[in-house]
Amino acid sequence: MIEEICNRLNISVGSFVEFGAWDGKHLSNTFSLLKKGWRGVYIEGDKEKYRDLLETSMEFTEQITPICAWVHYEGEYTLDNLLAKTPVPIEFELLSIDVDSYDWHIWNSLQNYKPKIVIIEGKSTVLPGIWQVHEDGVTQGNSFSALLGLGNIRGYELVCHTGNLIFVRKEFLAQLNLDPIHICFPENLFNYKKHFEELRYQNRLSSRIDSIIPAKIKDIIRKIANT
């Protein structure tokens, strides 16, 4: 999907930013781009995973800028502040956000950089029409509608939903030649197959917990599983 979007935008090589990156390979949205000659900033806060990222960096020494940090939406470790210490241009090609929590807030806080494409993880178990943003101890993840609304305010149009939501800056939208119905009614892009797959996964997880764990600690484990 990313490759097709880049093809339609006539992007053959460029710059990307991805976090949490892990080793830059596992479930990465950008590793395939790296192998095609793109340059990128990988950010990973977990020190063990960051060591794996450094090994990948050794394979692509001229292409990867690795950073060990947890990205925040305020304070010293905002994405703006972290990227200011890197060579990534102001208008780079692709941003991938996946921190399983304050994704919405982090994108909302980004002011100094203008990626053409934004990939951001959404909470696919939450159907369109429900506004949910992450709040520790209250809600987990960010809903399709919350991310859609933020994208529109930031000047982006939703072009695909795979579990992740993929946005493109509105000035490039015509190049994608999308069905007008998806532009007028982007809720049509919601991936119901992914929605039901995630529901089934959570139900299986809940059943395993119920079968093997004493009742007194089930709530604790469920909270951990949702963080």
> 171 and 121 in one domain?
yes
Total domain count for the chain? Answer: 2
Amino acid 140: pLDDT: 92
Task: Tell whether 66 and 175 lie within a shared domain.
Answer: yes
Q: How far apart are CA 130 and CA 144, in angstroms?
A: 8
Query: Is the domain of 116 the same as that of 214?
Result: no
Same domain as 143, residue 56: yes
pLDDT digits (tens, 9 = 90+) for 144-183: 999 999 999 999 999 999 989 999 999 999 999 999 999 9
Question: Can you name the residues that pair with 157 across neighbouring β-strands?
Answer: 168
Same domain assignment for residues 196 and 170:
no
Q: What is the mean pLDDT of residues 50-65?
A: 95
- The answer to whether residues 131 and 223 belong to one domain is no
CB-CB contact of 113 with 141 (8 Å): no
CATH of residue 50: 3.40.50.150
Q: Does one domain contain both 39 and 107?
A: yes
Q: Give the single-character DSSP code of 44.
A: E
Is 108 in the same domain as 161?
Answer: yes
Identity of residue 96? S
Identify the domain containing residue 195 by its residue range: 191-227
Whole-angstrom distance, CA of residue 145 vs CA of residue 122: 9
Instruction: Convert the pLDDT of each residue in 125-151 to its tens digit.
Output: 999 999 999 999 999 999 999 999 999
27 and 115 share a domain? yes
- Are 75 and 171 in the same domain? yes
CB 165 within 8 A of CB 103: no
Report DSSP state, residue 129. Answer: T
**Is the domain of 213 the same as that of 143?**
no
pLDDT band, very low/low/confident/very high, at 227 (cuts 50, 70, 90): low
Q: Which two tokens stand for residue 112?
A: 């100094």
Both 75 and 134 in one domain: the answer is yes
